[in-house]
Amino acid sequence: MLAFSIEKPGDNYGKVVTIPKPTLDGPGFALIRVLRAGVCNTDLEILQGYMGFTGVLGHEFVGIVEEVHDEIDAEWIGKRVCGDINVGCAACGVCDKQYDHRCSQMGRNHCPNRSVLGILGRNGTMAEYLTLPVRNLHPVPDDMPDEVAVFSEPLAAACRIVEQGLVSYNDPPDKVAILGDGKLGLMIAEVLGREHTERVGNGQDAPVLFGKHEHKLQLVNDTGVITKLIKDCQDSSAFNGVSPAYAGKFDVVVDATGSPDALALSAALCRPMGTLVLKSTCASTPEKPFNSAPFVIDELKVVGSRCGPIDKALALLAIPDSDPNRRSLNVAKYITKSFPLSQADEAVRCAAERSTMKVQIICNEK
């Protein structure tokens, strides 16, 4: 089969290769024919050496189940699915909830023996086929286009903030800032804007999305968030670089920039003893070392937030335009271009361009 693969860590753009079609890993697994895969910033970081990954890249997908190992799972054959990207061992204390019975997401995200699609020890989605446990699969509504279903994984990452209960909607509700107008930041704005509108109402203390690009901010004008350019909150004369009108004004700040430079700005926006949510991985460098002082001085609670509920994301994507009570979510507007799998190297180069929003790879036709 065709696949886009990294042969050595930091292989820049990888290449399209022909590799053996995968076989079922064992009991409980399914073979999935990939229809579409998405390219995200994590993929671009992996191409530069992040995680030291080699193999087939990608973790966003929609596909059709072609084969299952166990007869009991035969009902899945022919179904169109998306999937959780973490593959746990299903045997440790985390997977069977003995580690923390209060948190049903432990097994989904934190098995110490896990492999991760296209990130850690498991071939990913930029291929004609992949394998996943049936327990990882989520059925896609029949009327949902493939190009929409691919957004379930990044949208689920945004939904994880709600799932973690990091924002309070009591009276008064938390004031929330989202930093970063990249693909993930916009997905978070889509989710938190709608959540605020449904639970609080329009206008009152709506989340604020700070970004660098006016044209990107305009994409979420209808989501219930307020949009502002980052430069509007910056003040070089202030000790923390932030204008007094914004410094310490937010109960929860979500950093989705992927830049260590933005951590100081995020901390400055957050009130003392507030919550800073880190949604993207970034590393400090000798040139840009991490400064812990503002986090300690203001006693900030720093919370990581990672993979979220695919089923909740699919439910959001399935809201019809005709629904009188809930605003539909138009993710097609984020797609810049789609490429066939044979041109996956071009797709990755396109995804790395600053002007690009979302790139998808067509791995198989239905």
Mean pLDDT by 10 residues, the chain (366 residues): 92 88 96 97 89 95 98 97 94 73 73 94 98 97 97 96 95 95 95 94 88 94 94 90 94 91 90 94 64 85 93 96 88 96 96 93 90
The answer to whether domain 167-304 has CATH 1.10.580.10 is no
Domain ranges of the chain: 2-156+308-362, 167-304
Of the candidates 201, 110, 149, the residue with the CA atom closest to the CA atom of residue 311: 149
Report pLDDT for 98: 59
Fold of the domain built from segment(s) 2-156+308-362 = Quinone Oxidoreductase; Chain A, domain 1 (3.90.180)
Report pLDDT for 239: 87
Task: Give the burial class of 15: count Cβ atoms within 10 A of its Cβ; 0-12 exposed, 13-18 middle, 19 or more buried.
Answer: middle
Q: Map residue 7 onto helix, strand or coil.
A: coil
C-beta of residue 162 within 8 angstroms of C-beta of residue 195: yes
Could you tell me where the beta strands, DSSP code E, fall in the chain?
A: 2-6, 15-18, 29-39, 55-56, 60-68, 80-83, 86-87, 115-117, 121-122, 129-133, 137-139, 176-179, 208-211, 226-229, 250-255, 270-278, 301-304, 335-340, 358-362
Report pLDDT for 283: 55
Structure tokens at 310: 């695919």
